[in-house]
Structure 1
Amino acid sequence: MSASIAVSDLTWSTPDGRTLFSDLSLTFDPGRTGLVGRNGVGKTTLLQLIAGTLAPLSGSVRVEGTLGVLRQTVQVAPDETVADLLGVTAALALLQRAEAGHAGAAELSLADWTLETRIAAALGRVGLDAPPGTLLAALSGGQRTRAALAALILAAPDFILLDEPTNNLDRDGRAAVLDLLAAWRGGAVVVSHDRALLDTLDAIVELTTLGTTRYGGNWSHYRERKAVALAAAHHDLAAAEQRLADVAQGAQRSAERKARKDAAGRRQRAKGDIPRIVLNGRRSSSENTAGANARLAERRRAQATALADSARARIEVLQPLTVTLPSTGLPAARTVLRMDAVSAGYTPGRPVITDFSLVITGPQRIAIAGPNGSGKTTVLALAAGALRPWSGTVRCLADAAMLDQRVSALEPALSIRDNFRRLNPGAGENDCRAALARFMFRADAALQLVSSLSGGQVLRAGLACVLSGPTPPALLILDEPTNHLDIEAIEAVEAGLRAYDGALLVVSHDEAFLQAIGVTHRLELPMLRPT
Structure 2
Amino acid sequence: MPASISLSNIAWSTPEGRTLFANLSLNFETGRSGLVGRNGVGKSTLLHLISGLLKPQAGKVSVVGTLGLLRQAAQVSPGETVADLFGASERLDLLRRAEAGLASVEELASADWTLEARIEAALARVGLSAEPATALKALSGGQRTRAGLAALVFGAPDFILLDEPTNNLDRNGRGAVIDLLAGWRSGAIVISHDRELLDTMDAIVELTSLGATRYGGNWSLYRERKVTELAAARHDLLDAERRVLDIAQKAQATAERKARKDGAGKSKAAKGDMPRILIGGLKNRAENTSGENIRLAERRRAQAEADAAAAHERIEVLQPISLKLPSTGLPPGKAVLRIYRLTAGYEAGKPIIADFSLDLTGAERVTISGGNGTGKTTLLKAISGKLKPWLGNVSVLTAYAMLDQQVGLLDAEASIRDNFRRINPEADENACRAALARFMFRADAALQVVGSLSGGQLLRAGLACVLGGKVPPALLILDEPTNHLDIDAIEAVEAGLRAYDGALLVVSHDQAFLEAIGITRRVEMAACTNIR
Q: TM class by shorter-chain length?
A: 0.7 to 0.9
Deviation at 1:217, TM superposition (A): 1.6
TM-score (norm 2): 0.81
State the distance in 1 between where 2:293 and 2:419 align.
60
**Any idea what the Cα deviations from partners look like across 1:146-186, whole Å, max 9, x if unmatched?**
22321222232222222333334344333322221222122
CA distance in structure 1 between the aligned counterparts of 2:522 and 2:399, rounded to whole angstroms: 22
Does the Cα contact within 8 Å between 2:460 and 2:492 map onto a contact in 1?
no
Contact 1:426/1:470 (8 A) holds in 2 = no
Equivalent runs, 1:101-112 vs 2, <5 Å? 101-103=101-103, 112=112
Greater alpha carbon shift after TM alignment, 255-264 vs 146-155: 255-264
Equivalent residue for 1:226? 226
Query: Does structure 2 conserve the Cα–Cα contact (< 8 Å) formed by 1:342 and 1:356?
Result: yes
| Identity within the alignment, % | 66
Change (3 A) 1:178 1:342: same
- Alpha-carbon distance in structure 1 between the residues aligned to 2:413 and 2:110: 52
Distance 1:314 1:111, change over 3 A: farther
Query: 1:3 touches 1:30 (CA, 8 Å); kept in 2?
Result: yes
Q: Report what 1:122 is aligned to.
A: 122
Alpha-carbon distance in 2 for matches of 1:211, 1:47: 15
Match of 1:133 in 2: 133
Report the AA paired with residue 522 of structure 1.
R
Counterpart position of 1:483: 483
| Alignment partners' CA distance in 1, 2:473 and 2:274 | 89
After superposing the two structures, state which structure 1 stretch, 76-85 or 271-280, moved more.
76-85
The answer to whether the aligner puts 1:186 opposite 2:158 as a matched pair is no
Matches within 5 A, 1:242-321: 242-283=242-283, 285-287=285-287, 289-290=289-290, 293=293, 297=297, 300=300, 304=304, 315=315, 317=317
Q: Is the 8 A contact 1:125 1:176 kept in 2?
A: yes
The DSSP-based 3-state class of the residue aligned with 1:270 is helix
Decide whether aligned partners of structure 1 residues 48 and 475 sit closer, same or farther in structure 2, where only a CA change above 3 A counts.
Answer: farther
C-alpha distance in structure 1 between counterparts of 2:434 and 2:309, whole Å: 32
Letter in 1 for 2:35: L
> Does 1:7 pair with 2:7?
yes
2:342–2:355 contact (8 Å) kept in structure 1:
yes
The answer to whether the 8 Å contact 2:467/2:500 transfers is no
SS of the residue 2:146 aligns to: helix
CA contact (8 A) 1:417 1:432 kept: no
Change beyond 3 A, Cα 1:258–1:451: closer
Please, what is the CA RMSD of the aligned residues? 4.2
CA distance in 2, matches of 1:132, 1:49: 31
> Structure 1 residue 354 and structure 2 residue 350: aligned?
no
Cα shift at 1:101:
4.0
Of the structure 1 ranges 58-67 and 345-354, higher mean CA displacement relative to structure 2 is found in: 345-354
Deviation of 1:68 after TM superposition, in Å, equals 2.6
The answer on whether the counterparts of 2:153 and 2:160 sit within 8 Å (CA) in structure 1 is: no
336-345 or 504-513, which moves further after superposition?
336-345
1:361-400 alignment runs, 5 A limit:
361-389=361-389, 391-396=391-396, 398-400=398-400
In 2, the alpha carbon distance for the partners of 1:347 and 1:77 equals: 27
Partner secondary structure for residue 482 of structure 2: coil
Q: In structure 2, list runs of 5 or more residues that go unmatched.
A: none
Q: Structure 1 regions of 5+ residues with no counterpart? A: none
1:97-176 alignment, distance < 5 Å: 97-103=97-103, 112-176=112-176
Paired AA for residue 376 in structure 1: K
**Residues 75/355 of structure 1: CA separation in 2 closer, same or farther (3 Å cut):** farther
Query: Which letter does structure 2 place at the counterpart of 1:354?
Result: A
- Report the secondary structure of 1:367's partner residue: strand
Deviates more, 1:337-346 or 1:320-329: 320-329
Q: What code does the residue aligned with 1:367 have?
A: T
What CA deviation, in whole Å up to 9, does each residue of 1:453-477 have, x standing for no partner?
A: 5443444345445655777544433
* TM-score, reference length from structure 1: 0.81
When residues 70 and 435 of structure 1 are mapped into structure 2, their CA distance, relative to the original with a 3 A threshold, is farther
Distance in 2 (CA, whole Å) between partners of 1:325 and 1:312 is 25
- Cα deviation 1:343-376 (Å, max 9, x = unaligned): 4455666554433222334544332233344333
- 2 CA distance for matches of 1:218 and 1:341? 45
